[in-house]
Amino acid sequence: MLQELFTPSVQHSLDLAGIFVFAISGALLAVRKNFDVFGIAVLAEVTALGGGLFRDLVIGIVPAAFTDLGYFLMPLVAAALIFFLHPQVERIQSGVNVFDAAGLGLFCVTGTTKAYEYGLSLTSSAVLGLATAVGGGVLRDVLANEVPSLLRWDRDLYAVPAIVGATMVVLCIRFDVLNAFTSGTAVITAFLLRLAAMRFNWRAPRAWNRRSSAAEEA
Amino acid sequence: MLQELFTPSVQHSLDLAGIFVFAISGALLAVRKNFDVFGIAVLAEVTALGGGLFRDLVIGIVPAAFTDLGYFLMPLVAAALIFFLHPQVERIQSGVNVFDAAGLGLFCVTGTTKAYEYGLSLTSSAVLGLATAVGGGVLRDVLANEVPSLLRWDRDLYAVPAIVGATMVVLCIRFDVLNAFTSGTAVITAFLLRLAAMRFNWRAPRAWNRRSSAAEEA
Amino acid sequence: MLQELFTPSVQHSLDLAGIFVFAISGALLAVRKNFDVFGIAVLAEVTALGGGLFRDLVIGIVPAAFTDLGYFLMPLVAAALIFFLHPQVERIQSGVNVFDAAGLGLFCVTGTTKAYEYGLSLTSSAVLGLATAVGGGVLRDVLANEVPSLLRWDRDLYAVPAIVGATMVVLCIRFDVLNAFTSGTAVITAFLLRLAAMRFNWRAPRAWNRRSSAAEEA
């Protein structure tokens, strides 16, 4: 069932990179919510590992977060950085958003690939890849007692880049052309789409009558 | 271990029906919370699949939501319906409550049955059936940053109908009379109990001293 | 893989004791939030079983909450006690905190031990033991729509005693001296540390510039 689509070290490095940047976003939210140092560490861990943990529970394996020490230590490094340096990091908020977009691109690709490796169908793999990419952020917002950014209409498009990235991966698998190059292309496409959504404030529509003054659209 | 208590197609149809009506309730809450189209889709998916996903993780199988495409597509259909038609659906809110009651009845029965098929004890099966029936709604409310209706004293009885339905199923299993007819009776009993709870505003008591002016009760 | 580190009955009794005291804390929060009797029962169950359920899902077994009837019934006993007696229990709030501290000590030790028995590494076992000890309380706070106490800077140290207890267990395993006596020592150490944190209001620091008037520290 397990077909190595990547060399393990490539997938591992991509995963660690995604974990790091998501941990940064969790730690920053914890600082803004005035949490203490353990709150910062916990929110960094949950944000970084939550999506992958859900993915691994679904496919029925012991979550990588509990088998690979690096997965656990990386968010602590991010939390320590934010603990000491967060004024500097907040000043480069746009930089943080760039890293977060990179994490989204990385996780939708590695999540989809891993789900397929463990026997899910192509569609289910893409769905689980999407859940991997957005799950940590949703958990982060729930623990911080906020409505998840993913759901709010007044945030820029977040799901669409991940959907596009996951779809590209399953198309590559379907046509048997998944390799380091095509995967990288999927990562970069999702990454750039997210950057563009933030740059141009792309938003998703709300339900019909909520945009009532613009009723001519209907 | 797996004894087919139903023909698979009957269980599958009951499941899909429950998924659809729960997805409607999730999508409607998303519209009220002013979420965008992705928020509507996500809340529909989570509400419809959350309970079953928890059940499948507990019994240790890959969740049906990720092996059966219909489970994933059904909430999207419900979300699309609500996206375009929600003023009409809200006007028939009582109709929605009827559907939600039907979902509660369906899920407590199919959840209990599936848990028993995978080897849980009778009591644990009933508990997991109850968790299947109410789990999606709890997740829906947590993601929408509200106190779960299940817990609030000012909402009509919700858990009791599901407890009754799940208990009927395990009694039928115990006395070896579980079949399409007795299962249907359990579904309909839970369904009618929930309708009656809403019609007559049945509420559960709060803890003793909260009803202080009625202190003679203590 | 399964090495019996304790006699099963000892681990079982410790677990049940921890479940009971955590259930008390969940039921008390439910009363304060004005939940009805089902809300009290649900919050007692979730607080008591949530951490262990997460642990068992991670190590890939059917959660003990669904295989052992006592695990399920114990929180109901606690919920019934609180339902009838909560004014008395609240008056002895400090007593409740003592029980909660005992639960923290018990769960960090049994969680770590069970994780190691099922094949996790020493570090991962300690992390999962910590998650077992604090997980139920986090779920309790999320369901009650509050920011988890674990994360807030204005609460006394909660994670540190559990970290110390879990670390003592893995050190004992590492040096092959884990037995009823050393385990008990770990439980009592975590317990006393938590009591001291409450007694002397030990708090964890927040991130650097939040303590701005003390900017000379930076």
Query: Is there a domain that residue C116 lies in?
Result: yes
> Which chains, if any, share at least 3 CB pairs under 8 A with chain C?
A, B
Q: Cβ(B183)–Cβ(B169) under 8 Å? A: yes
Identify all chain C residues contacting A42, using CB atoms and an 8 Å cutoff.
150-151, 159
Count of A-B CB contacts under 8 Å: 89
* Shortest Cα distance, chain C CAs vs residue B189, angstroms: 20
The pLDDT of residue B168 is 95
pLDDT at res. B217: 37
Mean pLDDT, rounded, for B81-106: 77
pLDDT in tens, C20-46: 989 988 888 888 888 888 889 999 999
Q: Give contacts of A151 with chain B, Cβ < 8 Å.
A: 30, 33, 35-36, 38-39, 42-43, 143-144
Does residue B208 fall inside a structural domain?
A: no
Nearest to C38 among B59, B60, B159 (CB): B159
Smallest Cα distance from A179 to chain B, Å? 24
Query: Exposed, middle or buried by CB within 10 Å (0-12, 13-18, 19+), for B76?
Result: middle
Q: How far is C1 from chain A (nearest CA, A)?
A: 15
Q: What is the pLDDT of residue C209?
A: 58
Closest Cα partner for A158 from A187, A185, A137, A172?
A137
Domain assignment of residue A25, yes or no: yes
pTM of the model: 0.87
In a domain, A208, yes or no: no
Does the pLDDT at position C207 exceed 90?
Answer: no
A61 touches chain B (CB under 8 A): no
CA distance A21 to chain C (A): 19
Report chain A residues whose CB lies below 8 A from the CB of B62.
Answer: 58-60, 119-120
Task: Look at residue B2 and tell me if it is in a domain.
Answer: no
Chain C residues with CB inside 8 Å of B132's CB? none
Cβ-defined contact of C31 to B207 (cutoff 8 Å): yes
Cβ of residue A121 closer than 8 Å to a chain B Cβ: yes
* A121 or C207: which leads in pLDDT: A121
pLDDT of residue A8: 64
Residue A148 contacts B where some CB pair is shorter than 8 Å: yes
Q: C80 in contact with B at a CB cutoff of 8 Å? A: no
3-state secondary structure of B218: coil
pLDDT the model gives residue C8: 64
Say if residue C97's pLDDT is above 80.
Answer: no
| Mean pLDDT, residues C126-153 | 89
A117 belongs to a structural domain: yes
Instruction: Kindly state the average pLDDT of the residues B119-141.
Output: 92
A39 → closest Cβ in C127, C153, C209: C153
Q: Is residue B189 part of a domain?
A: yes
Closest approach of C88 to chain A, Cα-based (Å):
31
DSSP string spanning chain C? ----SS-HHHHHHHHHHHHHHHHHHHHHHHHHTTBBHHHHHHHHHHHHHHHHHHHHHHHTS--GGGT-HHHHHHHHHHHHHHHHHHHHHHHTHHHHHHHHHHHHHHHHHHHHHHHHHTT--HHHHHHHHHHHHHHHHHHHHHHTTS--GGGBTTS---HHHHHHHHHHHHHHHHTT--SHHHHHHHHHHHHHHHHHHHHTT----B-GGGGGGGGGG-
Once rounded to an integer, what is the mean pLDDT over residues C184-213? 80
The answer to whether the CB atoms of B209 and C86 lie below 8 A apart is yes
Residue of chain A whose Cα is closest to the Cα of B68: A124
CB contact under 8 A, A150 and B37: no
Q: How far away is chain B from the Cα of A85, in angstroms, using its nearest Cα?
A: 31
> What pLDDT sits at residue C53?
93
Nearest to C204 among A36, A84, A85 (CB): A36
- Which of B57, B62, B66, B74 to mutate to probe the A interface, most A CBs <10 Å? B66
pLDDT, position B94: 64
pLDDT in the model for residue A90: 66
Domain range for B58 is: 8-203
CB contact under 8 A, B30 and A148: no
Q: Is B205 on the interface with A (CB under 8 A)?
A: no
Q: Is C58 on the interface with A (CB under 8 A)?
A: yes
- In 3D space, the residue among B44, B206, B133, B74 whose CA is nearest the CA of residue A207 turns out to be B44
pLDDT band, residue C4 (cuts 50/70/90): low
pLDDT category at C58 given cuts 50, 70, 90 is: very high
Q: Does C148 touch chain B (CB under 8 A)?
A: no
Chain A residues inside the 8 Å CB shell of C120:
62, 66-67
B-chain CB neighbours of A145 within 8 Å are 145
Q: Per the CB < 8 Å rule, is B151 touching C87?
A: no
Residue A3 lies in a domain: no
Q: Do C69 and B124 touch (CB under 8 A)?
A: yes
Distance from CA of C61 to the nearest CA of A (A): 10
In one letter, which amino acid is C19?
I
- Tell me B178's DSSP state: -
pLDDT band at C92 (very low <50, low <70, confident <90, very high): low
| Residues of chain C contacting residue A30, judged by C-beta atoms under 8 Å apart | 151
Which residue blocks in chain B are alpha helix, DSSP H?
Answer: 8-32, 37-59, 69-91, 93-117, 122-143, 159-174, 180-199
* Cα–Cα distance for residue pair C41/C25, rounded to 1 Å: 12
From C11's Cα to the closest Cα of chain B, the distance in A is 21
- Enter the DSSP assignment of B158: -
Could A124 and B61 be called an inter-chain contact, meaning their C-beta atoms sit closer than 8 Å? no
How many domains does chain A fold into? Answer: 1
- When mean pLDDT is compared across B79-83, B181-185, B211-215, the lowest value belongs to B211-215
CB contact under 8 A, B151 and C143: yes
| Identity of the residue in A39, A87, A143 whose CB atom sits nearest the CB atom of C142 | A143
- In this predicted structure, what is the pLDDT of residue C118? 92
pLDDT less than 50: residues of chain A: 1-3, 211-218
Q: How far is B121 from chain C (nearest CA, A)?
A: 7
Establish if C212 touches chain A: CB-CB under 8 angstroms.
Answer: no
